[in-house]
Amino acid sequence: MNLKGRSFLTLKDFMPEEILYLLDLAAELKAKKKQGITGESLKGKNIALIFEKPSTRTRCAFTIGCIDEGAHPEYLGKDDIQLGHKESVEDTARVLGRMFDGIEFRGFKQETVEKLAKYSKVPVWNGLTDLYHPTQILADFLTIKEQFGYLKGIHLVFVGDGRNNMANSLMIGSAKLGLHFTILAPKELWPSKELCEQCEEYAKDSGAVITVTDDKNAVKGADVIYTDVWCSMGEEAKAAERIALLKPYQVNSKLMGMTEKEDTIFMHCLPAVKENEVTEEVFEKFADIVFDEAENRMHTIKAVMVATLGK
Ligand code: CP
Ligand code: NVA
């Protein structure tokens, strides 16, 4: 599998076998790291890490991933560079592309990360935009594989803001890899029709069943109940409205019980607002899995960099 020179902007751009390859590579890099073995695949490379929005996991994952493989990471926060203020994205991209070998971008518009890739001409990795969070899906799927041993046929239910970056990206990833994916959300927060139609197309090849519903009985038989914050970064002003809409969709022990399965797991991309989208009780019961998922951000992000830029 050769992904050299490719950007990682959305899972839409990747074939199922390419996504599976990244998951296998991440598992291999994880096993090596556990034995104290790191690599030199990115030796001599300089990596720009642009953050318009804050981050704990993604920033740390890219930083450690770079250092473990011999690269130099350079953090560029929103007030550190001119991007989008005094300089166009196109110009900043062309400058960074002359100096850096790869660029991570976290921010608002998907259009920005796409422009960065187009104009820098180096691999660009999406560390989250308003629309997508593709590296998170790799960590989530690696975690599901570790828990269940397989991905195809897993029933994954996302509960909450069904039109946010996580819901969108989980739907794309599931449709591509054949996980049965359900969005459980009030109608006001359903994903776009366009994205649903696109995922239905992917699902024709993978056998995935995609469901969007506001009926909580849809959690019956779920292997994984997944949730995310009710207000994503940049949407803080909507807090009251979202709480009113989503309170009935809190992941609590009653909802977990409605799966009628003993081995259903809970997952969360983090950061979590406990007692909003998930109760402390459910969160703590599944904390080991949730923090495996957080750790897996590092192994999967490292795999993306090694696959697209490594020697
Ligand atoms: N899950 C995730 O992307 O976390 P951060 O916002 O801390 O990077
Ligand atoms: N939907 C959340 C994900 C955080 C990792 C946000 O965009 O803030």
pLDDT in tens, 258-294: 999 999 999 999 999 999 999 999 999 999 999 999 9
Told to judge if 297 belongs to the known catalytic residues of this protein, a careful annotator would answer: yes
- Rounded mean pLDDT of 159-183? 98
Between CA 185 and CA 177 the distance in angstroms is: 23
Between CA 210 and CA 206 the distance in angstroms is: 11
Q: Which atom of ligand 1 is nearest to 270's Cα?
A: 1
Between CA 28 and CA 194 the distance in angstroms is: 36
Told to judge if 228 belongs to the known catalytic residues of this protein, a careful annotator would answer: yes
- Rounded mean pLDDT of 29-55? 98
All residues at 6 or more sequence positions from 101 whose CB lies less than 8 Å from its CB, including other chains? 45, 46, 47, 71, 122, 123, 309
Between CA 200 and CA 205 the distance in angstroms is: 9
| C-alpha torsion 166→214→154→144, nearest 10 | 40
Place of tokens 């409605």: 258
pLDDT at position 37 is 97
Partner residues linked to 175 by β-bridges: none
pLDDT at position 82 is 87
Residue located nearest, by CA, to atom 2 of ligand 2: 232
User: Which contiguous run of DSSP H or E holds residue 268?
Assistant: strand 265-268
Closest CA to 115 of 95, 99, 85, 93: 93
CB 211 within 8 A of CB 183: yes
13-37 pLDDT, tens digit per residue, is: 999 999 999 999 999 999 999 999 9
Q: Which one is catalytic: 133, 155, 180, 268?
A: 133
Q: Token pair for residue 55?
A: 């981050």
Full-model pTM? 0.98
Name the amino acid, one letter, at 231: C
Whether the per-residue pLDDT at 84 is higher than 90: the answer is no
Between CA 68 and CA 149 the distance in angstroms is: 27
Between CA 140 and CA 227 the distance in angstroms is: 12
User: Widest CA span of the chain, in angstroms?
Assistant: 56
Q: Token pair for residue 167?
A: 């819901």
111-131 pLDDT, tens digit per residue, is: 999 999 999 999 999 999 999
- Rounded mean pLDDT of 185-193? 98
Whether the per-residue pLDDT at 140 is higher than 90: the answer is yes
Q: Which one is catalytic: 6, 59, 106, 242?
A: 106
CB 174 within 8 A of CB 156: yes
pLDDT at position 297 is 99
pLDDT at position 161 is 98
- Rounded mean pLDDT of 95-114? 98
User: Which contiguous run of DSSP H or E holds residue 152?
Assistant: none
Residue located nearest, by CA, to atom 1 of ligand 2: 232
pLDDT at position 85 is 83
| pLDDT > 90 fraction of the chain, expressed in percent and rounded | 97
Closest CA to 103 of 119, 86, 82: 119
> Does residue 288 sit in helix, strand or coil?
helix
Q: Which residue has the higher pLDDT, 81 or 106?
A: 106
Q: Nearest ligand to the C-alpha of residue 130?
A: 2
Closest CA to 304 of 23, 71, 12, 57: 23
Closest CA to 20 of 186, 121, 150: 150
Confidence bin at 71 (pLDDT 50/70/90): very high
Pocket test for ligand 2, best of 158, 171, 269 (most atoms within 8 A of CB): 269
**For the chain, what is the mean pLDDT?**
98
All residues at 6 or more sequence positions from 6 whose CB lies less than 8 Å from its CB, including other chains? 13, 123, 307, 308
200-244 pLDDT, tens digit per residue, is: 999 999 999 999 999 999 999 999 999 999 999 999 999 999 999
Q: What residues are in contact with ligand 2 under a 6 Å CB criterion?
A: 128, 133, 164-166, 228-229, 232-233, 269
